[in-house]
Amino acid sequence: MRKLFGTDGVRGLANAEPMTPETMLRLALAAGRHFTRGTHRHRVVIGKDTRLSGYMIEPALTAGFVAVGMDVLLLGPVPTPGVAMLTRSLRADLGVMISASHNPYGDNGVKLFGPDGFKLSDEIEAAIESHMDEAPALAPTAELGRARRLDDSEGRYIEFVKATFPKGLRLEGLKIVVDCANGAAYKVAPAVLWELGADVIPIARAPDGFNINAKCGATHPETLQSAVVAHNAHLGIALDGDADRLIMVDEHGHVIDGDQLMAMITRGFAREGRLQGGGLVATIMSNLGLERYIEGLGLKLARTKVGDRYVIERMRGDGINVGGEQSGHIILSDFATTGDGLLAALQILAETLQTQRPMSEAAHLFDTYPQLLKNVRFKKGAADPLRAAPVAQAIAAGEKALGREGRVVIRPSGTEPVIRVMAEGQDKSLVTRVVDDICGAIEQATRSA
């Protein structure tokens, strides 16, 4: 069982457990022990976003890896997909990204990548946790690792991303606002778009250690919406703090979520004969409208539990090369091993150029079904309210009421005592009633426990 790792690595409040220097040192000692195999010089790459606490966590991890004999390459601020790419490119045994993604600056986290550039499986994370309870396998004095900075990590990532854009296409004539979330892509995102010919208006690109994701980025698109309209831009691109997710805005300032973006990429890949596996992988949170649209193309939509690494596992298992989440994590396995907001944006821009339609038309491929999500909190350590008979009855009644044109998703949080209740269907009032009835049953069960 994993206790330290959640759905996307280790995460928490900086300088509180588990995000303390001591625990980060122990994590590095344990991860280094697990990935030290063979007689070659072992190597780990470490990237980070722009949070103040990165200055604390980076040296703690570095000390642990050096202590077990691994050489460390420090990348500085670079997007999460850049770490995944450079892990493979530099033949590293392990990749580490220090980031809490879309969370505010006070949080931080650690994501780990194997030598193949993919996020670690549950089994490997559990093995690393078990090593944390063991005595560290310290290297002899003469075999300590060394640490150095890689000065051109940003340039390497810029060239990698640009190479995924179709040859012969340019972004000339497009005015694009890009919201960098004061995060890891604050330099690379405007550079890529400008080098491909766009008229770029960057916003939220002045990180100070505290302002990452603060009223900006993919989780706060209102700033981008206003900027697109104010500058009369053709579209807007919003990334999150570590640039692995993407939300876009059309010329009218309307938000385009991950479901519409995935539909657009899937359609384009299918038209060009590039789609593999006969469909798309999404999570249980993606809208039914997306599923119906994909089926209308004669393709299939496979669903996984929430978490982009579960999407990737299903993609690899089924041989599918397009997948992602409604929140904007989009994985294109022809190019990358993890979600990459900037790379996905370039594919959307290429599709928009080729259709010769404004973003408001090109990216509106289906009408979304009314969808409602509510959270019900219960006392930590209390009995699981989902085991209560009245709750099961309420869920069954909701599923029956919605029928084939709707669905209910009940998802316990993996990090806090919360039950997430989501329903969607064609009738908004019915969806609301179903969610309220289930939430009421859960609340009653928690009071009775």
The conformation of residue 119, written as its DSSP 8-state character, comes to B
Residue 280 contacts residue 294 (beta carbons within 8 Å)? yes
pTM score of the predicted model: 0.92
Please report the pLDDT score of residue 417 as a whole number: 83
Residue-wise pLDDT for 116-153, tens only, equals 999 999 999 999 999 999 999 999 999 999 999 999 99
What's the CA gap between 177 and 250, in Å, rounded? 10
Residue-wise pLDDT for 348-397, tens only, equals 999 999 999 999 999 999 999 999 999 999 887 778 889 999 999 999 99
Residue-wise pLDDT for 182-197, tens only, equals 999 999 999 999 999 9
Q: How remote is the C-alpha of 436 from its chain's centroid?
A: 29
Q: Is the pLDDT of residue 400 over 80?
A: yes
Residue 147 contacts residue 62 (beta carbons within 8 Å)? yes
Q: How remote is the C-alpha of 72 from its chain's centroid?
A: 25
Active site residues: 101
Tokens encoding 98? 């220090």
Residue-wise pLDDT for 106-117, tens only, equals 999 999 999 999
Residue 119 contacts residue 21 (beta carbons within 8 Å)? no
Full DSSP string of 170-217: --TT-EEEEE-TTSTTTTHHHHHHHHTT-EEEEES----SS-TTTT-S
Q: Predicted confidence band at 416 (pLDDT cuts at 50, 70, 90)?
A: confident
Q: Predicted confidence band at 230 (pLDDT cuts at 50, 70, 90)?
A: very high
Exposure b/e, 331-345, CB count within 10 A at least 16 = b:
bbbebbbbbbbbbbb
Is beta strand 71-77 parallel, antiparallel or unpaired with respect to 43-48? Answer: parallel
Q: Is the pLDDT of residue 162 over 90?
A: yes
What's the CA gap between 411 and 409, in Å, rounded? 6
Residues with Cβ < 8 Å from 2, sequence gap 6 or more? 122, 125, 126, 129
Q: Predicted confidence band at 314 (pLDDT cuts at 50, 70, 90)?
A: very high
| Helices vs. strands in the chain: H and E counts, helices first | 14, 18
Please report the pLDDT score of residue 447 as a whole number: 83
Domains of the chain: 10-151 (3.40.120.10), 157-254 (3.40.120.10), 258-341+355-362 (3.40.120.10), 371-448 (3.30.310.50)
Please report the pLDDT score of residue 208 as a whole number: 98
Please report the pLDDT score of residue 6 as a whole number: 87
Tokens encoding 292? 């119906």
